[in-house]
Amino acid sequence: MANITLPNNIQNTDTSDADKLMANLNAIITEYNATVGGLSGSIVTAPLGSALQVLRRNSANTANEYATLAVNRAFSWYLDGTSIVADEVGAKYIAPQNMTVTKIWFKLTSGTATIRIQNGTTDIQNSLSVTSSVGNTTTIASATIVAGDVISLDITAASSPVGLIVAVECSQP
């Protein structure tokens, strides 16, 4: 194990000094790259708000690979008790960013229902038959959601549906 000599000795009673903290961080990064990271990679640092995030990466990777990671989001509904035919049941969601619907999951405790997921008044998917078995679809009619769109759930047919669970899975590049 390597010893790291830091250029600044910061005590618990010291007020934060960004220059001292950065000098110490740079010393740690230099030592890491010289001893550990030199074997398989290097350190990439990136500011994240007021904190400094340190990411270890393999030297074969590029910084662009980190920028292309997709984030998954889900809009979900849980309706306890017996549901009836109705538009905009449960919560309505406002999309925080542009995204693409990738899958819709659904299940009932008992009974059956037919549901529709809408983006405003446009169907994202309609005529989904929901039973007590977990179901899903990846064939989405209108998969694109734009920031600010309102997402809602409608029950278009019902036969004593109890405990409706629906989740709309989205990817966000």
The CA radius of gyration of the chain, in Å to the nearest whole number, is: 25
pLDDT in the model for residue 81: 87
Tokens at 11, concatenated? 């005590």
- Does pTM surpass 0.75? no
Q: Would you kindly state where each structural domain of the chain is located, as residue ranges?
A: 18-67, 71-172
**What does the angle CA 136 – CA 142 – CA 81 come to, to the nearest 5 degrees?**
45
What CA–CA distances, in Å, run from 61 to 21, 42, 56, 117, 122? 28, 10, 10, 39, 41
Do residues 130 and 105 touch, judged by C-beta distance below 8 A? no
CATH number of 71-172: 2.60.120
**Chain-centre distance of CA 19, in angstroms?**
34
**Residue 147, φ and ψ in degrees, nearest 5:** -50, 130
Q: Which residues contact 150 (CB under 8 A, 6 or more apart)?
A: 92, 93, 94, 95, 119, 120
User: Mean of the pLDDT values across residues 92-101?
Assistant: 93
What CA–CA distances, in Å, run from 110 to 21, 120, 158? 59, 29, 11
pLDDT band at 77 (very low <50, low <70, confident <90, very high): very high
pLDDT digits (tens, 9 = 90+) for 125-139: 999 999 999 999 998
Q: In terms of Cα–Cα distance, which of 72, 93, 95 is closest to 170? A: 72
Mean pLDDT of the chain: 77
pLDDT digits (tens, 9 = 90+) for 145-173: 999 999 999 999 999 999 999 999 999 87
